[in-house]
Amino acid sequence: MNDSETWLFNGSSLASQVHAAAVNGHKRALLKQISGNPDLKDKEDQFGRTPLMYCILADRLDCAEVLLKTGTDVDKADHSQRTALHLAAQKGNYRFMKLLLAHRANWMKKDLEEIIPLHLTTQHKSPKCLALLLKYMAPGEVDTQDKNKQTALHWSAYYNNPEHVKILIKHDSNIGIPDIEGRIPLHWAANHKDPSAVNTVKCILDAAPTESLLNWQDYEGRTPLHFAVADGNIAVVDLLTSYESCNVSSYDNLFRTPLHWAALLGHAQIVHVLLERNKVGTILSDSQGATPLHYAAQSNFSETVEEFFKHPSVRDDSDLEGRTSFMWAAGKGSDEVIQTMLKLKLVTDINVADKYGGTALHAAALSGHVSTVQLLLKHYAQVDSADVMKHTPLFRACEMGHKEVIQTLIKGGARVDLVDQDGHSPLHWAALGGNPDVCQILIENKINPNVQDYAGRTPLQCAAYGGYINCMVVLLENNADPNIQDKEGRTALHWLCNNGYLDAIKLLLGFGAFPNHMENNEERYTPLDFALLGGHHEVIQFMLEHGALSIAAIQDIAAVKIQAVYKGYKVRKAFQDRKNLLMKHDQLRKDAAAKKREEENRRKASEQQKEMHNCKTTRINIQQQNFSEMERNHLRLHTSQCSVPPVKRPPSGNMSQNQPGKGKRSTVLSSKVTNKNKNHSVELLGEDHKRKMGVCEANSNSKPAYILSYSCKNNDQRRHQTEKKHQTVSASLGRDGKPPTTTTAIS
């Protein structure tokens, strides 16, 4: 038994002795077992294989003939739905196929992959089995498709069997049937690295060298030329491009031409062929605006790059983001291409920037290519060139954690104290990237570990946001302050509690972080509130054990204190109000007393002015009365002196006429009577009235501001007494007809 038979026997777990007899070629044992039990001729093992199948696998033709004579089922299928004819076609066993077909085996039987024996015969270099099957098949059956929609012609092209292709085409196989990916047999023939595949391609093209066949695109837009270029088969590329109708600039679905593929894979010879046979005259770009030169540069194919620049139509154009092939090379660390382009002086400005302000040095630093950074710095690249976000190459290296590049840039003069448009320093970006070594390098180069961005955040907060405990250790050991709050009032502890980083929280509290900082917004959340919102139970328990409070607890405590303060305030306010009220009442009393005094003074002043006015009026009246009395007396005297013969007159007139010499005395008597009346009135008023009267007369003589009221009253009485006296005198004269005596007048 050979090796294959041993594998079959050991690996198949034979179900019965009849399978063993078939594998071992024991015809007599096989016939004896079948004659004893006819059902054994189609007995299946665990894979559903019959003794006839084992005869084919073990190449036991004589045993197969015995089984066929006993009436075994020639089309019996195993669990994969393959028959004995499938196995014979797969092995390429012409004798077995001929035997089975002679016993009317079904050549159109499909397995689970919908493969028929015709597909399997294309795997072998000899076309005998294929030709045998084609003799039995009808013309339409030759293009039977499997599960992938592939015909026997697809299979023949894939296995690079030009003879099979010729036979199938001769039997009217359709060369333009696409499979499940949209590929025709020409795609599969071109997609082969063996230079001999050019023969298979030629067989297909000889059958129908049409433009549609040459430029047929699969469902991803790829032509047979794309596949030939991808495999680097220069012979097939040369054959395909030799046809006038072949489009060497055909786009696939990503807008990449076969030249893009050749440049990306570094096929310099194919690049040369395609450039020479490019009828467009210009180099097309893909969906990113990248030319084939970009792909050659990034892949570090210096020979291919040189081949491009030998062609006059090639220029180092920028892609849609403004990046040249030189920048692509720097981003991929393609030092050979960079040196080639610098040597050939193909780069006019090493510091040229893309639309975002990034240079080749930015690209190299971001990718971490130390040798490229050194090469660019050697050729005077600007070490602190900033992009639109004010990022220098150092920023990008810190973000990605390329410490060797960082050291190279710092040695090249890069500044560590610059900040970007958000105020982030290189240390912020190193902390955000979780790179403790980079943080240590930057701190050693005198960067402040507590530097804050425009939002007030420190590198420690950035490291806490990502839970990078190693970065936090480096920062805290270098005097980073864990209690710095950003403009929203958040500390590093807020971010740790929000994300549930318990170990980092323990570290931060160990370095003296205050657990109860509150935000500056309306919520005023503390780190414990962040842990509660995130549902981090272990963090909540740990924070509570270390004195953390939520905003609700702080508000309760504050409420108690506020109430105590408010109560004291109320007591003090009530006392102050009472005091103010008493002071107000006292002031009102004082104001009322003052007002009363003022009104009393005004009243007294008014009364004094009124009395003074009355006194003046009385004096004027007395003077006028005295003057009138004097005039009357004078008139009487004058009348008595100038009288005519007696005429009957009133008594006063008779007395004047009868006593002409007594007119003057009469006047004097009247004055004396008046004075006597005056004195009599004064005596009657008493000493006090005399004193007041004297004051009144003194005030009258000196014209004082105030006149006493009783003096005015005294004047009125005196005037009244005077008038009464005059009436008495007149009455006496009228009665007696004589003037009164002096004694009488005085009395």
CA distances from 86 to 50, 76, 91, 97 (A): 13, 11, 9, 9
What are 438's two structure tokens? Answer: 């980079």
Report pLDDT digits (tens) over 124-147.
999 999 999 999 998 889 999 999
User: Residue 645 above 90 pLDDT?
Assistant: no
Instruction: Tell me if residue 694 falls in helix, strand or coil.
Output: helix
DSSP category for residue 739: P
Ramachandran sector of residue 255 (left: φ over 0; alpha: ψ -120 to 50; beta: rest): left
Helix crossing, 502-510 with 492-499: angle to 10°?
160
CA distances from 522 to 320, 328, 519, 525, 528 (A): 46, 49, 8, 9, 16
What are 574's two structure tokens? Answer: 């009530």
CATH of the domain at 498: 1.25.40.20
| Average pLDDT across the chain, whole number | 84
What are 669's two structure tokens? Answer: 């008597």
Residues 444 and 502 in one domain: yes
Report the pLDDT value the prediction gives residue 640, as an integer from 0 to 100: 61
Report the pLDDT value the prediction gives residue 695, as an integer from 0 to 100: 39
Domain boundary among 549, 577, 597: 549
User: Residue 698 above 50 pLDDT?
Assistant: no
Report pLDDT digits (tens) over 315-347.
888 999 999 999 999 999 999 999 999 988 877
Report the pLDDT value the prediction gives residue 630, as an integer from 0 to 100: 84
Residues 545 and 563 in one domain: no
Report the pLDDT value the prediction gives residue 746, as an integer from 0 to 100: 28
Helices and strands counted in the chain (H then E): 39, 0
Report pLDDT digits (tens) over 178-211.
999 999 999 999 999 999 999 999 999 999 888 9
Confidence at 658, pLDDT banded by 50, 70, 90: very low
Residues 568 and 483 in one domain: no
Alpha-carbon span 527 to 128, nearest angstrom: 82
Residues 564 and 460 in one domain: no
Residue 205 CB contacts under 8 Å (≥ 6 apart), including other chains:
186, 213, 214, 239, 243
Whether residue 499 lies inside any domain: the answer is: yes
What are 148's two structure tokens? Answer: 């992938």
Residues 492 and 580 in one domain: no
Whether residue 270 lies inside any domain: the answer is: no
Percent with pLDDT over 90 in the chain: 62
Confidence at 650, pLDDT banded by 50, 70, 90: very low
Domain boundary among 549, 571, 606: 549
Residues 530 and 577 in one domain: no
Instruction: Tell me if residue 390 falls in helix, strand or coil.
Output: coil
Burial of 36 (0-12, 13-18, 19+ CB in 10 A): exposed
Alpha-carbon span 210 to 442, nearest angstrom: 66
Report pLDDT digits (tens) over 391-448.
999 999 999 999 999 999 999 999 999 999 999 999 999 999 999 999 999 999 999 9
Residues 461 and 535 in one domain: yes
Q: How far is CA 263 from the centre of its chain?
A: 42
Residues 439 and 537 in one domain: yes
User: Residue 559 above 80 pLDDT?
Assistant: no
Whether residue 479 lies inside any domain: the answer is: yes
What are 702's two structure tokens? Answer: 């000196």
Confidence at 735, pLDDT banded by 50, 70, 90: very low
429 in Cβ contact with 438 (< 8 Å): no
Report pLDDT digits (tens) over 665-695.
333 333 433 443 434 443 434 444 444 444 3
User: Residue 5 above 70 pLDDT?
Assistant: no
Report the pLDDT value the prediction gives residue 500, as an integer from 0 to 100: 94
Report the pLDDT value the prediction gives residue 316, as an integer from 0 to 100: 85
Whether residue 506 lies inside any domain: the answer is: yes
Alpha-carbon span 565 to 733, nearest angstrom: 105
Q: What does residue 550 show for φ and ψ, rounded to 5 degrees?
A: -85, 170
Polymer length in residues for the chain: 747
Choose among 619, 601, 660: nearest CA to 636.
Answer: 660
457 in Cβ contact with 486 (< 8 Å): yes
Report pLDDT digits (tens) over 445-481.
999 999 999 999 999 999 999 999 999 999 999 999 9
Q: How far is CA 114 from the centre of its chain?
A: 56
Residues 443 and 534 in one domain: yes
The model's pTM? 0.67
Helix crossing, 17-24 with 61-69: angle to 10°?
130
Report the pLDDT value the prediction gives residue 717, as an integer from 0 to 100: 56
Mean pLDDT calculated for residue range 355-381: 95
User: Residue 39 above 70 pLDDT?
Assistant: yes
Residues 474 and 506 in one domain: yes
Whether residue 225 lies inside any domain: the answer is: no
Alpha-carbon span 333 to 365, nearest angstrom: 10
Amino acid at position 550, single letter: S
Ramachandran sector of residue 138 (left: φ over 0; alpha: ψ -120 to 50; beta: rest): beta
What are 279's two structure tokens? Answer: 């009828």
Say which residue, 644 or 607, is predicted with more confidence.
607
User: Residue 737 above 70 pLDDT?
Assistant: no
Whether residue 160 lies inside any domain: the answer is: no
Residues 489 and 532 in one domain: yes
Residue 12 CB contacts under 8 Å (≥ 6 apart), including other chains:
19, 45, 46, 47, 49, 54
Report pLDDT digits (tens) over 235-271.
999 999 999 999 999 999 999 999 999 999 999 999 9
Whether residue 488 lies inside any domain: the answer is: yes
User: Residue 639 above 90 pLDDT?
Assistant: no
Q: What is the 3-state secondary structure (H, E, C) of 244-300?
A: CCCCCCCCCCCCCCHHHHHHHHCCHHHHHHHHHCCCCCCCCCCCCCCCHHHHHHHCC
Alpha-carbon span 177 to 638, nearest angstrom: 177
What are 308's two structure tokens? Answer: 């491009």
Residue 335: CA atoms inside 13 Å, Cβ hemisphere, count?
12
Whether residue 461 lies inside any domain: the answer is: yes
CA distances from 174 to 133, 152, 227 (A): 18, 10, 21
User: Residue 573 above 90 pLDDT?
Assistant: no
Amino acid at position 110, single letter: K
320 in Cβ contact with 291 (< 8 Å): no
163 in Cβ contact with 196 (< 8 Å): no
Q: What is the largest CA-CA distance in the chain?
A: 226
CA-based torsion, 588, 589, 590, 591: positive or negative:
positive
CA distances from 418 to 362, 384, 404, 444, 584 (A): 15, 9, 20, 16, 68
Amino acid at position 457, single letter: R
What are 476's two structure tokens? Answer: 């805290």
Domain boundary among 549, 569, 595: 549
> 568 is in which domain, residue-wise?
559-586
Report the pLDDT value the prediction gives residue 722, as an integer from 0 to 100: 54
Residue 519 CB contacts under 8 Å (≥ 6 apart), including other chains:
488, 489, 490, 494, 525, 526
Mean pLDDT calculated for residue range 582-600: 90
DSSP category for residue 350: T
What are 198's two structure tokens? Answer: 């050019």
Mean pLDDT calculated for residue range 268-288: 89
169 in Cβ contact with 207 (< 8 Å): yes
Lowest mean pLDDT across 112-121, 284-293, 569-578: 569-578
Alpha-carbon span 242 to 276, nearest angstrom: 11
Domains contained in the chain, number = 2
User: Residue 375 above 50 pLDDT?
Assistant: yes
Report pLDDT digits (tens) over 20-34.
888 898 888 888 888
Residue 157 CB contacts under 8 Å (≥ 6 apart), including other chains:
165, 185, 186, 188, 189, 200, 204
Residues 515 and 535 in one domain: yes
What are 111's two structure tokens? Answer: 């397995």
